[in-house]
């Protein structure tokens, strides 16, 4: 009788222990699974994904669980980006966004999306007195007209699912500060920020959010143009001294802001210019 009692006690103890372990395991799982920044079950279009910031955004979005549609003009570099994406279900579409046909081709080929990140852009430095129509048109065409026309077409062709998020990579130049030689570029980026605010208001009724990110210097092919444009050189090399946080940016710094704006963590955020600048604008 005594032996039976102790066996029953041991059994009860083991069962209670099992139950407790089970509860702790579930709690731990809930804690580790909880991630308001997750991009699971979202399909995201990233333009300018063949290089620099756009490539970084595509790579980080895939790590957060998104299916990514990458687009750019250079086939080799675009497919290199595709090969860098973790998990499966990603795709690549070649398109030149400076033409109407290029934009139409992209929209026709792409699936329904939950998010659109426009990183495609060009920088051409030109002092005010040398600006002519052709330089201006080239800059405005890629940096301003392309994202506006693409947004309009995505809405018209119903390519955005409900509660979609649009993120434009603008610049601190033209929205917060600017620099000599950048007037055309700043004009295009400032206009893009203005468009984003108005579009945010208009598309809010469908739950679509529209925001811009305004980066300071991130060494890429594009920012490297500063060095070739200025005769004293070394602009990118010495840039970190102008940043309170003592470094220039990385594509990942920008991608982390993009992930926030694409994710449900920012579901009450629309029409903002998110400045990511290492403190540059404080000085
Ligand atoms: N880097 C910075 O310091 C900095 C600072 C503030 C804002 N930004 C903005 O960040 C964005 C990305 O710049 P980045 O530094 O990553 O430059 P990047 O390395 O030169 O990349 C630019 C991307 O834009 C694409 N692109 C350019 N013209 C295009 C067109 N007509 N059609 C389709 N794609 C086109 C390029 O595609 P292909 O290479 O395939 O032609 C490339 O993928 C730009 O909008 C830029 O204005 C950059």
Residue 225 Cβ < 6 Å to ligand 1: no
Residue 164 has which token pair? 């979609």
Q: What is the CATH number of domain 38-282?
A: 3.40.50.720
Residue 193 Cβ < 6 Å to ligand 1: no
For residue 15, name the pLDDT band (cuts at 50, 70, 90).
confident
User: Which residue from 238, 235, 249 is spatially nearest to 279, judged by alpha carbons?
Assistant: 249
Residue 80 Cβ < 6 Å to ligand 1: no
Task: Quote the CA–CA distance of 165 and 199 in Å, as a whole number.
Answer: 12
Residue 174 Cβ < 6 Å to ligand 1: no
What is the tens place of the pLDDT at every residue in 156-177? Answer: 999 999 999 999 999 999 999 9
- What are the sequence ranges of the domains in the chain? 1-34, 38-282
Task: Quote the CA–CA distance of 172 and 193 in Å, as a whole number.
Answer: 10
User: Which residue from 211, 218, 216, 164 is spatially nearest to 192, judged by alpha carbons?
Assistant: 211
Mean pLDDT (the chain, rounded): 92
Which pLDDT belongs to residue 240?
82
Is the C-alpha dihedral spanning 82, 72, 237, 242 positive or negative?
Answer: negative
For the sheet containing 91-94, what is the strand order?
A: 91-94, 67-72, 43-47, 113-118, 160-169, 209-215, 273-276
CA of residue 121 to ligand 1 center, whole Å: 4
Which pLDDT belongs to residue 32?
63
Residue 51 Cβ < 6 Å to ligand 1: yes
CA of residue 251 to ligand 1 center, whole Å: 11
Nearest protein CA to atom 11 of ligand 1, as residue: 119
Which pLDDT belongs to residue 170?
98
Q: Which helix (H) or strand (E) holds 276?
A: strand 273-276
Residue 117 Cβ < 6 Å to ligand 1: no
Q: What percent of the chain has pLDDT over 90?
A: 81
Higher pLDDT, 230 or 181: 181
What is the tens place of the pLDDT at every residue in 30-60? Answer: 556 899 999 999 999 999 999 999 999 999 9
CA of residue 51 to ligand 1 center, whole Å: 7
What is the tens place of the pLDDT at every residue in 53-99? Answer: 999 999 999 999 999 999 999 999 999 999 999 999 999 999 999 99
- Which atom in ligand 1 lies closest to the alpha carbon of residue 248? 3
Burial of residue 16, with CB atoms counted within 10 A of its CB: 0-12 exposed, 13-18 middle, 19 or more buried: exposed
| Helix runs in the chain, H state only | 2-33, 52-63, 75-84, 100-109, 133-140, 146-156, 183-203, 225-229, 235-238, 251-262
- Which atom in ligand 1 lies closest to the alpha carbon of residue 215? 6
Residue 74 Cβ < 6 Å to ligand 1: yes
Q: Which of 48, 110, 184 for mutating ligand 1's site (highest number of atoms within 8 Å of CB)?
A: 48
What is the tens place of the pLDDT at every residue in 227-247? Answer: 666 655 567 777 788 999 999
């Amino acid at each position: 009788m005594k032996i039976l009692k102790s066996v029953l006690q041991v059994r009860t103890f083991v069962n209670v222990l099992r139950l407790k372990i089970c509860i702790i395991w579930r709690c731990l799982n809930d804690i580790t699974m909880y991630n308001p920044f997750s991009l699971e079950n979202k399909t995201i279009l990233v333009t300018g994904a063949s290089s620099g910031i756009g490539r970084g955004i595509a790579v980080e979005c895939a790590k957060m669980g998104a299916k990514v549609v990458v687009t750019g003009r250079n086939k080799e570099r675009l497919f290199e980006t595709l090969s860098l994406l973790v998990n499966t279900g990603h795709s690549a579409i070649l398109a030149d966004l400076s033409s109407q046909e290029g934009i139409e081709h992209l929209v026709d080929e792409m699936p329904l999306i939950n998010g659109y990140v426009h990183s495609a852009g060009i920088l051409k430095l030109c002092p005010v007195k040398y600006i002519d129509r052709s330089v201006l048109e080239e800059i405005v065409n890629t940096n301003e007209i392309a994202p506006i026309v693409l947004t309009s077409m995505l809405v018209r062709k119903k390519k955005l699912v409900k509660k979609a998020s649009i993120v434009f990579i603008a610049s601190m130049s033209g929205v917060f500060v600017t620099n000599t030689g950048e007037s055309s570029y700043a004009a295009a980026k400032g206009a893009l920020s203005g468009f984003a605010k108005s579009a945010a208001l208009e598309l809010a009724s469908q739950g679509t959010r529209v925001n811009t990110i305004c980066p300071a210097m991130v060494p890429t092919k594009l920012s490297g143009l500063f060095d070739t444009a200025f005769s004293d050189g070394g602009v990118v090399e010495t840039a970190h001294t102008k940043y309170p946080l003592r470094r220039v940016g990385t594509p990942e710094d920008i991608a982390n802001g993009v992930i926030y704006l694409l994710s449900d963590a920012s579901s009450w955020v629309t029409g903002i210019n998110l400045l990511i600048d290492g403190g540059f604008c404080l000085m």
